[in-house]
Amino acid sequence: MRLRYYRRALFLPFLASIATMFFVFLSLQTFSVVRVTPYYQGIFMGNFSCDQTQSTKNGTIVTSNMNVQLRNITKPPEIPMIYVITPTYKRPEQIPEITRLGQTLMLVPRVHWIVADDALEKNKLVQEYLDQMGMPYTYLLTPMPERFRNKKGAKPKGVANRNGAVDWIRNHSTEGVLYFADDDNSYDIRIFEEIRSTREVSMFPVGLVTSRSLSTPVLRNGRFEGWYDGWMGGRKFPVDMAGFAVSVQYLLKHPKATMPYSPGYEEDGFLKSLQVEIKNLEFLASNCTKVYVWHTRTHKNALADPVLLDPRYNNTNLQVLKKSLLLKPRATPRAS
């Protein structure tokens, strides 16, 4: 009897501990689902790109993949769409940088990525990458006007790209938020949830800008006092391109707003064309005390040596990999 009693006394706590561990496991699983998928539950399915070629005032739409479908969806709440505008151009770092930004955007719900390429013909590698991502996107061809491309000195890089994307938004949307996200920057995904609630124009700090390594509005007790930036340049809004977002509704109230072809004054000119005043500004990132975006720059790489075109590499994997490289022109043999 005494042995049976001791066995029962040891077995019951063991069962209780097993039951406790089981319920803790279930609670952790439920918690992880809530944290990982706050807006919807489901997965992307298939490849839904569809070729659409259409001329616009500031460029050409090559492909628009606007209706990505979801499977096993729990209906999401109505949260504003974020239109992320990314200017790009052909260079050795283009695909790696597009990949880095794309992987970030895949973690953000309700994003439509507008990739505006400074090119006359579509880049097959960019197109293929956007297709396989499985997220809503639009690929635009927005070449810089020749009068600026041939001009000596500083060039207004990315202006045609951004204006083309803004023009697309005007023609395809009536609500949401637009944000200029260059492909060589680094982004904490929290910046996208911050800007999603923008009512008119929001602003926030950007790191690694100029010699001061910071560009931000200056606030004291939550009130605007001025600007902190390494180059003021007589600008009304001395901010970085990644340091503000604009609601689509506010954009549509200013149909003539555009970005000027003035190197160094693109942000300032665009905001002034929107007739922005300090009263319109919403200061995000905990009253501009946190940095969620950095103006990082990728090391510029030289064009690849064309040695892999040598016949000795025929029928090897290099024949496939060369399609992903920008090669130096092969030297022309001198005439004897």
Q: 217-267: per-residue pLDDT in tens?
A: 999 999 999 999 999 999 999 999 999 999 999 999 999 999 999 999 999
C-beta atoms surrounding 8 within 10 Å: 9
What sign does the dihedral 139-145-151-156 (CA atoms) show? negative
**34 or 289, which is more confident?**
289
Local confidence band at 303 (pLDDT 50, 70, 90 cut-offs): confident
- Mean pLDDT across 269-283: 97
HSE (CB half, 13 Å, CA atoms) of 219?
19
The pLDDT assigned to 70 comes to: 41
The 10s digit of each residue's pLDDT in 131-173 is 999 899 999 999 999 999 988 899 999 999 999 999 999 999 9
pLDDT band, very low/low/confident/very high, at 302 (cuts 50, 70, 90): confident
- Residue pLDDT, tens place only, 12-36: 555 566 666 655 454 444 333 222 2
Contact of 293 with 190, CB cutoff 8 Å = no
What local confidence, expressed as pLDDT, does residue 267 receive? 98
Give the span between the Cα atoms of 289 and 190, in whole angstroms: 14
The closest of 236, 229, 226 to 209, measured between CA atoms, is 229
pLDDT score, position 30: 36
State the pLDDT at residue 306.
82
User: pTM for the whole thing?
Assistant: 0.76
Round the average pLDDT of the chain to a whole number and report it: 82
User: Does the annotation count 128 as an active-site position?
Assistant: no
pLDDT grade for 297, boundaries at 50, 70 and 90: confident
**312 confidence band (pLDDT: 50, 70, 90):** confident
DSSP 122: -
Of these residues, 97, 146, 267, 282, which one is catalytic?
Answer: 267
Q: Helices marked H in 81-180 — which ranges? A: 94-105, 124-133, 146-149, 159-172
**Predicted pLDDT at 35:** 27
